[in-house]
Structure 1
Amino acid sequence: MHGARSWLFSRSAVRADAIAPLSRLGGIVLTFAAAAPAAAQDNAVTSAADAFGERVGIEQSGLYTESQVRGFDLNDSGAYRIDDAYFSRAQALDDTILAGVSVRVGVNAARLPYPAPSGVVNYRLREAGPTNELRVGGGFRDFGTRVVQGDVSWRAGAFSLAGGVVWRPVWHLAQGYRGSGINGGAVVGWNVAPGHRLRVFGSVNDREYDGDYAVIPTAGAIPPNLRKLHQYSPEWARTVATTTNLGLLYRGELHGFTVDASAFRSVFSLDNADNTLISSDAQGNATATTLRTPKRDYRVSNTGEIRLGRAFDTGDFGNHVTLSLRGRDTTTELASSLAIPLGAFDLATGDPPDMPERPWSGTRGEDTVTQTTASAGYGLTWRDRIQLRLAAHRTRYHKTVLSTSGATSERLSETTHYNASAVVNLSDRAAVFGSWVTGLEESGSAPASAINREEVLPPVEAEQFELGARYALSPRLTLIGALFDVSKPSQGFRLDRTFGVVGEVRHRGFEASIAGELTPETSILAGVVAFESELTGTLVDAGLVGSHDVGVSQRVANATIVRRFGRDWSLDATVSYMGERWADTANSFKAVTTLSLGLRHGFMLGGRRADLRILGSNLLGEEGYLVASSGLLSPVPPRTVRAVLTVALGAND
């Protein structure tokens, strides 16, 4: 991936000062992407409205994840919401405060007040249940990770509390990393008065492990497979990070108007971030370099939004008018990387030479983005048959970079974007829908190796067209299919070694979902997406880069079936297929197919309700690499089994 296409024609280059944290994130995201379909269970299946992406805890179902939808990275578009409120994240919300995470595309995105090209990820906060309850659990997660966890649900009058804590005294990751972590959070609700509700949440995720690594193929060939669960970083390498998310949401009704207000703060801090880059050819002749960056608040993002809505009827027509103002202020602390060469070794049998540790030395900088968007929207319904939505969004985007070289660059842009959607119910069972969405996406700044080093790049404007249908096969089983076309400018190195817009990337394809119950005892969640990823521009025309997007599977399929036996037993099976991904202009990776089998059993233990969950992932033993759009390779997570037992303690045992 770090071949000709990667460096000359990538939507966002991997900067030296960002490789460590981004590679760490990329590695974990790739691990999740491979393990997620194999981790699907009846919680995620029964929570999902479709097969396009649903996560409950660490178990996920569907085609897409909260980082990639329809082949595009959502970290660029910022298409994240918390219970439909605008959210600019430094990192993802913690599971201890979440009821689930949904990827919204197609008909389930057509009604959103603020949609985004290529989809939206919605985090759903936890709500206290009808009874006060404490649940404690423990066991093993993937790759031998030991876990102790607890969850609480509590109500008293107008107040409620929901949250939990997870402690991993021994934490193992698919790449062979070892460490520990603890995370916890809570959501507090207050019904201030009839029609007025306030929610406040906070979460902290603190973790550390023994350094990241990633592989770069050389000579246009794929390196040999890595040893399973083997750490290739030097002994002194460490990654120590903390994520903090805080927020407030208010919803009220006043004189026929609805008022939604929210404010969020998301912080991703790095105490240490050592990342080892391994370059290897097909024979395993490898060299390694560890990049060290200093302690810093890598990213801090503050988000705010206020929405005002009014619904009224005119004859057979229902009308809904909305006005909103949303903004974010995001600061990223930049730092140059200290490269520590480790030397040559054999990737298949050896380890990088043991070189002495060196303290970081270098320069720092800062990247600041201030973005404000004012929106006006109108929705129309007619006799439960037709739903129309139109909206316009005016955005002011200001980005300033104080580079690690001491130079300052800034850019101000003001743009207007639109969205329109329609849902037509042809009958009680059938509906057709269509949408058009435009939006603004982050571009970053030019990499240090460019002539226009660390120059602020203009934000790109993305566009999506979609047309689809939904059909209820039965009252509890729904089929959805859609055609989509998503396009945006693509950035990379030009022939004069400046970095900027060089062409366009376009994904056109088809996706389908079937979700629901086949019988009262059997649930199914199955989906498929197939699209063409096409790159166009002067570099493609000149034959310097290929016409395929790197790190994207253009064929993905996933199917999960859950069979319940009586009240207390269920079995689930998931098959996931990810098609070939282009590594660079010279080759592509093989397809990856994984199988998982799981069991869930509810029973009484000492007079208290208990649940046992066992899940085996990648039971076919798939091997090889996964490739990210950045060009970095990480291993396919090997075969693993998890088993966790939880017991309920509370008023109603």
Structure 2
Amino acid sequence: MKHAGKAVLAAVAIWATPAQAQRADENAVLEAEDGFGKSVGNESIGIYASGEVRGFSATAAGNNRIEGLYFDEQGGVTDVIVRGSTVRLGLTSFGYPLPAPTGIVDMELRRVGTRPVVSVEARSGEYLGPDLVVNAAIPVSDRFGVDLGFGLFDDEYVSGASAWFRSYGGVARWRPAAGVELTGLYGRYDYGDEEQAPVIYTAGAYLPDRIEQRRFYGQDWADGSGHAQNYGGIVKATLGSWQIAAGAFNSSVTRDSYYSAYIDGVDRNGDGRSFLIAGRDQVSASTSGELRVSRVFAEGPRRHRLLASVRARDMEQLYGGYDLADLGAGTIGVADPVAPLDFDFGERTDDRVRQSSLAVGYELRWPKLGELNLGLTRSDYRKEVRVPGVPATVQQDRPWLWNAGLALTPSDRLTLYAATTRGLEENGVAPNAAVNRGEALPALRTRQVELGLRYALPGTWRLTAAAFDIAKPYFEIDRRDGVFRQLGEVTHRGVEGSLSGQPVAGLSLVAGAVWLDPRVTGQAVDDGRIGTKPIGRTSVLVDSSLDYRLPFLPAVSFDIRATFEDRRVANAANTLYLPARAIVDLGARYRTRVSRTPVVIRAQLRNVGDVFGWRVGSGGGFTLLQGRRANLSVTADF
């Protein structure tokens, strides 16, 4: 950290004049438009996130965007270049050409203002793992600016495992002419000493016993390392009635050393068999992008927009060659170190996906009447998998996909809408608990139908609600042979709602809720191999956040986030559930100035009641729920 401290001082010394705020003003509650999902900086609120939108993962489905443009994310994008992200679905996705089932997660890159700013944020980190982040926003001229950032993170987890991360990157924007902006981005993080706490698989329909938090019981020498990298460019131009938007990106993640630990067949006493999966040089890289051209026509009060879009990606994954070590008898929560092992790694599988999509769309906006969106897409998908010693297999699909949405505004306050979407989504690889771990899975044809409304209540209140029906093929571990394969079709029918507003001056409230009815159908259900509900789903999820700035002391604000989730399905047979739980987080901000520098002191206490629980993943593996933890940060915008 000594070198990092010198770098901070050097960066701060660049500017001696007061500057506009950058990180100090970040506040997810104040910036959220609804309660569906918003992240700003390192804080997130809402019922949805990239890993769970209406019960599915938008990231796994390939529905990420960077400032509205298609992006096939393989390695996570560091927040030293991303300011935040927003979950777009229902009415909020109407402005996005060619929406996708499972929603869209759109990332916003950092942007330079009119004055130079160096933001320094020091955090204690959860479980006292210290973090340091620095961003320098440099307006080189009134047309060109660069935001540079780096971060050092010493992460600690509820399992007692830890890892270090080093993150750096930048965003450059150039406006060579009115209505034209060119953006370049580069971001990377390196990580190491990544310990892996064992995933727990019980031998029957019961949960693991309670274990002590913050006690690591994996193997200290089984540390993972690697890096993730993202770079690319964006061009956006408005030339009269023509609009051009193009983006090209490269996203990759490399796991130089990889370990995954689990304890299988755990009995009611916590005893089972301990295993460790090891791998080397696991690589996933994708080049993707989109070119979109549109033309706007005005006809009296009506506004028509025609668009054409080309999307493409070329993804290659090198995975597998794992070695599985049987470590013998093991007890959950109890350390049992063994000497470092020599692993015999095999050849890796080469998995390559090439996909291109040609689309046309039409939008009609009629003030005081409504909006119409139509889209038609021809997708060409090809996956080639080369498993060592086995002839190559090829999967191809050329579906026609479409989307249609209609919104009507019978009054100034009320908007009603209906929409339907057909999609082709990526399906990832089989999980580590499966016999065919790491095996590439076929793409999924998906569909979604939804109805909803938005109503502007008196004052600043806004209500949004929708009913939806989503269907996809269902993949899970087959209990007959341990193979992860398609076992039927899963449908998610549900109702979601959001309420946001400012009931009194200084008080902001954002709340969201979803009621979900997930169902699996197919031969595996009829045979009794699996139940009718998919693993990991819950029927009720509520998330509410409140931020209140004291009227008599405006430098101080308090915030509360409360979440509730109903019980979650914990095994394929539907004979085991995680209990329902409610979690409350408390926080406070104190805003001041040191000389002319804005400073924010932020304190948070998460999971105030220290609710103990388990999370369940694919295949029914259990990991610890985050317990009570505190975080203190100081942010200054020089």
Q: Specify if TM > 0.5.
A: yes
What amino acid is the match of 1:581? Answer: R
Q: Aligned runs of 1:186-585 on 2, under 5 Å?
A: 186-213=170-197, 214-254=199-239, 256-279=241-264, 280-296=266-282, 298-348=283-333, 350-443=334-427, 458-492=442-476, 500-565=485-550, 566-584=553-571, 585=573
Deviation at 1:139, TM superposition (A): 3.1
Q: Distance in 2 between matches of 1:448 and 1:175?
A: 19
1:50 to 10, 16, 34: 34
Q: Specify the SS of the correspondent of 2:208.
A: coil
Q: Distance in 1 between matches of 2:536 and 2:181?
A: 44
What amino acid is the match of 2:558? Answer: L
Q: Is the Cα–Cα contact under 8 Å of residues 308 and 361 in structure 2 kept in the other structure?
A: yes
Deviation at 1:358, TM superposition (A): 1.6
Structure 1 residue ranges, 4+ long, deviating more than 3 angstroms after superposition: 404-407, 443-458, 491-502
Q: Distance in 1 between matches of 2:435 and 2:612?
A: 40
- The equivalent residue for 2:72 is 88
Deviation at 1:307, TM superposition (A): 0.3
Give the TM-score of the pair, scaled to structure 1.
Answer: 0.89
Deviation at 1:351, TM superposition (A): 1.9
Q: Aligned runs of 1:1-80 on 2, under 5 Å?
A: 43-80=27-64
Whether 1:648 and 2:637 are equivalent positions in the alignment is yes
Deviation at 1:241, TM superposition (A): 2.2
Cα shift readout 1:533-553 (whole Å, capped 9, x = no counterpart):
100011111222110110112
Q: Specify the SS of the correspondent of 2:133.
A: strand
What amino acid is the match of 1:636? Answer: L
Deviation at 1:281, TM superposition (A): 2.3
Among all aligned residue pairs of Structure 1 and Structure 2, give the percentage whose two residues are the same amino acid: 27
Which deviates further from its counterpart, 394-403 or 222-231? 222-231
Q: Distance in 1 between matches of 2:618 and 2:381?
A: 25
Q: Is the Cα–Cα contact under 8 Å of residues 263 and 330 in structure 2 kept in the other structure?
A: no
Give the aligned length.
Answer: 606
Task: Assess, with a 3 A threshold, how the Cα gap between structure 1 residues 120 and 453 changes in structure 2: closer, same or farther.
Answer: closer
Whether 1:589 and 2:578 are equivalent positions in the alignment is yes
Name the structure, 1 or 2, with higher relative contact order (CA <8 Å, separation 6+).
1
Deviation at 1:42, TM superposition (A): 7.4
Q: Is the Cα–Cα contact under 8 Å of residues 210 and 233 in structure 1 kept in the other structure?
A: no
2:614 to 599, 616, 625: 625
Q: Aligned runs of 1:136-155 on 2, under 5 Å?
A: 136-155=120-139
Q: Is the Cα–Cα contact under 8 Å of residues 625 and 633 in structure 1 kept in the other structure?
A: yes
Q: Is the Cα–Cα contact under 8 Å of residues 431 and 618 in structure 2 kept in the other structure?
A: no
Deviation at 1:600, TM superposition (A): 0.5
Deviation at 1:495, TM superposition (A): 9.6
What amino acid is the match of 1:167? Answer: L
Q: Is the Cα–Cα contact under 8 Å of residues 294 and 360 in structure 1 kept in the other structure?
A: no
What amino acid is the match of 1:204? Answer: R
Q: Distance in 1 between matches of 2:206 and 2:288?
A: 44
- The equivalent residue for 1:26 is none
Task: Assess, with a 3 A threshold, how the Cα gap between structure 1 residues 114 and 180 changes in structure 2: closer, same or farther.
Answer: same
Q: Specify the SS of the correspondent of 1:228.
A: coil
Deviation at 1:288, TM superposition (A): 1.1
Residue ranges of structure 2 left out of the alignment (5+ in a row)? 1-24
- The equivalent residue for 2:144 is 159
Q: Distance in 2 between matches of 1:303 and 1:174?
A: 36
Q: Is the Cα–Cα contact under 8 Å of residues 292 and 360 in structure 1 kept in the other structure?
A: no
1:605 to 589, 594, 607: 594
What amino acid is the match of 1:592? Answer: R
Deviation at 1:218, TM superposition (A): 1.8
Q: Distance in 1 between matches of 2:337 and 2:354?
A: 45
Cα shift readout 1:191-234 (whole Å, capped 9, x = no counterpart):
12222210001111112234223222222221112320122221
Deviation at 1:76, TM superposition (A): 3.4
Q: Is the Cα–Cα contact under 8 Å of residues 211 and 275 in structure 1 kept in the other structure?
A: no
Which deviates further from its counterpart, 339-348 or 442-451? 442-451
Deviation at 1:114, TM superposition (A): 2.1
Q: Specify the SS of the correspondent of 1:134.
A: strand
What amino acid is the match of 1:134? Answer: V
What RMSD, in angstroms, separates the aligned Cα atoms of the two structures? 2.2
Q: Is the Cα–Cα contact under 8 Å of residues 552 and 628 in structure 1 kept in the other structure?
A: no
Q: Is the Cα–Cα contact under 8 Å of residues 478 and 529 in structure 2 kept in the other structure?
A: no
Deviation at 1:397, TM superposition (A): 0.1
Q: Is the Cα–Cα contact under 8 Å of residues 86 and 326 in structure 1 kept in the other structure?
A: yes
1:185 to 146, 169, 172: 169
Q: Distance in 2 between matches of 1:143 and 1:503?
A: 41
What amino acid is the match of 1:277? Answer: Y
Q: Specify the SS of the correspondent of 1:511.
A: strand
Task: Assess, with a 3 A threshold, how the Cα gap between structure 1 residues 582 and 415 changes in structure 2: closer, same or farther.
Answer: same
Task: Assess, with a 3 A threshold, how the Cα gap between structure 1 residues 405 and 51 changes in structure 2: closer, same or farther.
Answer: farther
Q: Is the Cα–Cα contact under 8 Å of residues 222 and 281 in structure 1 kept in the other structure?
A: no
Deviation at 1:157, TM superposition (A): 2.6
Deviation at 1:135, TM superposition (A): 1.6
Q: Distance in 1 between matches of 2:228 and 2:427?
A: 24
Q: Distance in 2 between matches of 1:137 and 1:446?
A: 39
Task: Assess, with a 3 A threshold, how the Cα gap between structure 1 residues 96 and 353 changes in structure 2: closer, same or farther.
Answer: closer
Q: Distance in 2 between matches of 1:546 and 1:42?
A: 44
